[in-house]
Chain A
Amino acid sequence: MFKLILLIIKDIFSKKYVYIFLTAQLFIAIIALNFSIAIFNSVFYLKHLVNESGVIQGTYFYPNIKYSQSDGAEIKEKLSQLGGIGEYGSVNELYGKLNSDNTIIKTLVADKIVLNKSKLPLVKGNWFNTSLEESNYIPIIISYSLRNLFELNTKYVYRIFPDYGGSDSYYDITIKVIGILNKNNYAFDLSGSNLETMIKKNYDGIIMPFNENIMSGYSMKYNRGVFIFPQSNMSIQNIEAKINENLASYGESVLVKNLLKQYEDAKMQIMFLTASLGILVLIISTAGLGGNNMLSILANEKKYALYYMCGATWSKCIMMTIIKDLIILSIPLVLSCGFIEIISRFIPQELFTTNIIYLIMSISICLVIFLITSVGSILSIYKKSPVSIIRKWV
């Protein structure tokens, strides 16, 4: 067997440019496919989250004044007078850091009502639940990007700066990591200065519930907003209209559904263009890949007839073709895995995120194309008698 592999490798080296070209095609095809799958999947994933998320039933009120838990009483009162409103909960942004590390971490603080309705997919741990309300610590969920800074089910002293950049005041609170977000997710990032930029792909920070016992009295002044949900007998569109009519001087209300749609529309165009480019490259590279693979195998039939003449069985010749195919295949597979891993670190995640499943899908599709063309060519050689090939040669 070792001698056969040596013969195959020599064979590959004797026509190295053909195989380099074939390898490059396969490599490009895998990358292009991975890119397209990742982009399409992110669109579908967003649609899925929009449909699955509980916050979709609400409207988001974005105040145009500094609104906080403590001084938002006026808005709350106005909301309670409107009628038809079932629940509402605020979201705030603050910054914090661990005592052991200087990284400033974005922290989303949301009312439990909001958190209960916006369960995000986790890679580990559990989403918030009410049993944690009375605890002397605040349960938190960390983004995937922070998984190396925190350990699951571990408590930390967390220093929060409710007015980071405005004043130096801080509070130390005890937090416990109860979950880690999926690498790919969409969350209300709250870092945008307007409603259109409220949602971000792949939230990078901490999510924690607002805890009355621990955090009451903290003055949080960044990006506050309120999620408002209607009573069951009221339509959310009516509530949105009412809020915009009665609270116009305080801010603007947009249906979460529309907010997500706006985000989706904004991203769709760039995703469509990128995906189209990916598909174009994919079609060209896979068609070339299939064609070249077929040609390179067929071009070798003389060689196999020669091996047959020199003492190989025809089955052994076919086996050599298959082994050669696998060797050719393995190089771009390894290269593309490495390449995708590297580029995924440099390309903005808004444009390209990948995971092992996309990679497996891309590789599988390319493998199928490669194998179909290989099997077709190999079968066509197998059906021939070696002597007919030798005759043509002579």
Chain B
Amino acid sequence: MSYISLEQIDKKYNINTAAEVHALRGVSLEINKGQFVSIVGPSGSGKSTLLHIIGCIDTATGGRYMIQDKDLSQINNKELAEIRNKKIGFVLQEFGLILNNTSIDNVSIPLMFSKTKLKDIKNKAYDTLKKVGIEDLAYKKVNQLSGGQRQRVAIARALINDPQIILADEPTGSLDQNTSMDIIKLLMELNEDGRTVIIVTHNIEIAQMCDRIVTIKDGMIMGE
């Protein structure tokens, strides 16, 4: 049985208006636990929309989405939030960090919405920063860090609750070639630990480093 299962997923924006957009058209995808999947395709093809639906930050307008046989279209907002918090770690192209805060404060955010005790938060965040190799930057403000360091902070934040799924939307889009490779290696290490990693990328070289490449165009999967 697949770890992540999407059946005939549809996503429309601005429904019944002149500006209606059909972003995803009957997308079906099965991803097994521990796979490293890249989603590629041209701009506006629906890659990010698909990733957002997988990451539970957006909902499909049609079809069925399941994680570990749990139908996520049937659960309420609170349960969805819990899944985002515990099962999924999200990494964004522009890092999605609070620039005025320190690395450790940024990494701690998911713990603030979990049941972790307040006294354990700092240690856990520090340990996670250590995992991604930037523990010495824990008390530096994010706006003082380089792009690569920021992305590591973002990955640490995605990892802090030890999720089994890591989603990365163009994680190397704002980075130079060397740093990009460092970040991909880091994601590969996380995959080797047994996590399912799904990345959206334009970079074919990076995509080829993954177990699977899913190509999407005009909201439809064109092939693997």
Q: Is B149 an interface residue (CB 8 A)?
A: no
Residues of A within 8 Å of B182, CB to CB, are none
Residues of B within 8 Å of A314, CB to CB, are 77
Stretch at the interface among A216-224, A239-247, A304-312: A304-312
Q: Is B10 an interface residue (CB 8 A)?
A: no
- Is the beta-carbon distance between B77 and A3 smaller than 8 angstroms? no
Q: How far is the CB of B34 from chain A (nearest CB, A)?
A: 23
Q: Is B32 an interface residue (CB 8 A)?
A: no
- Is the beta-carbon distance between B96 and A311 smaller than 8 angstroms? no
- Is the beta-carbon distance between B169 and A309 smaller than 8 angstroms? no
A310 and B57 CA atoms in complex are apart in Å by: 9
A390 and B170 CA atoms in complex are apart in Å by: 13
Whether A14 contacts B98 in the complex (CB less than 8 A), given A307-B113, A310-B157, A312-B81, comes out as yes
Residues of A within 8 Å of B161, CB to CB, are 311
- The digit string for B46-62, where 1 denotes a CB below 8 A from any CB of A, is 00100010010110000
Residues of A within 8 Å of B68, CB to CB, are none
Residues of B within 8 Å of A3, CB to CB, are 112-113, 118, 121
- The digit string for B156-179, where 1 denotes a CB below 8 A from any CB of A, is 010001000000011000000000
A14 and B161 CA atoms in complex are apart in Å by: 24
Partner of B110, one of A303, A310, A391: A310
- The digit string for B67-99, where 1 denotes a CB below 8 A from any CB of A, is 000000000011011101110001011101010
Q: Is B208 an interface residue (CB 8 A)?
A: no
Q: How far is the CB of A322 from chain B (nearest CB, A)?
A: 17
Residues of A within 8 Å of B81, CB to CB, are 308, 311-313, 316
- Is the beta-carbon distance between A306 and B93 smaller than 8 angstroms? no
- Is the beta-carbon distance between A311 and B52 smaller than 8 angstroms? no
Q: Is B114 an interface residue (CB 8 A)?
A: yes
Q: How far is the CB of A64 from chain B (nearest CB, A)?
A: 75
Residues of A within 8 Å of B113, CB to CB, are 3, 307, 310-312, 316
Q: Is A385 an interface residue (CB 8 A)?
A: yes
Q: Is B2 an interface residue (CB 8 A)?
A: no
Residues of A within 8 Å of B90, CB to CB, are 309-310
Residues of B within 8 Å of A306, CB to CB, are 96, 98, 109
Count of chain B residues near A, Cβ 8 A:
33
Whether A387 contacts B109 in the complex (CB less than 8 A), given A3-B118, A314-B77, comes out as no
Q: Is B101 an interface residue (CB 8 A)?
A: yes
Interface residues on A, range: 20 to 34
- Is the beta-carbon distance between B118 and A391 smaller than 8 angstroms? no
Q: Is A6 an interface residue (CB 8 A)?
A: yes
- Is the beta-carbon distance between B112 and A387 smaller than 8 angstroms? no
- Is the beta-carbon distance between A2 and B77 smaller than 8 angstroms? no
Partner of B109, one of A15, A310, A393: A310
Partner of A394, one of B78, B84, B94, B98: B94
Partner of A390, one of B77, B85, B92, B105: B92
Q: Is A10 an interface residue (CB 8 A)?
A: yes
Residues of A within 8 Å of B144, CB to CB, are none
Partner of B84, one of A6, A7, A311: A311
- Is the beta-carbon distance between A14 and B96 smaller than 8 angstroms? no
Residues of B within 8 Å of A308, CB to CB, are 57, 81, 84
**Apart from A308-B57, A309-B90, A310-B109, 7 more pairs, CB < 8 Å:** A6-B118, A11-B98, A310-B113, A311-B114, A312-B85, A385-B58, A390-B52
Residues in chain A within 8 A of chain B (CB atoms):
2-4, 6-7, 10-11, 14-15, 303, 306-316, 385-387, 390-391, 393-394
List of 8 A-B pairs having minimum Cβ-Cβ separation, nearest first: A311-B85, A14-B100, A311-B113, A387-B58, A310-B110, A313-B81, A3-B112, A311-B84
Q: List 23 A-B contacts (CB under 8 A).
A: A3-B118, A3-B121, A7-B109, A15-B100, A306-B98, A307-B113, A308-B84, A309-B55, A309-B90, A309-B96, A310-B84, A310-B109, A310-B113, A310-B157, A311-B82, A311-B110, A311-B114, A313-B78, A316-B81, A386-B57, A390-B52, A390-B92, A391-B48
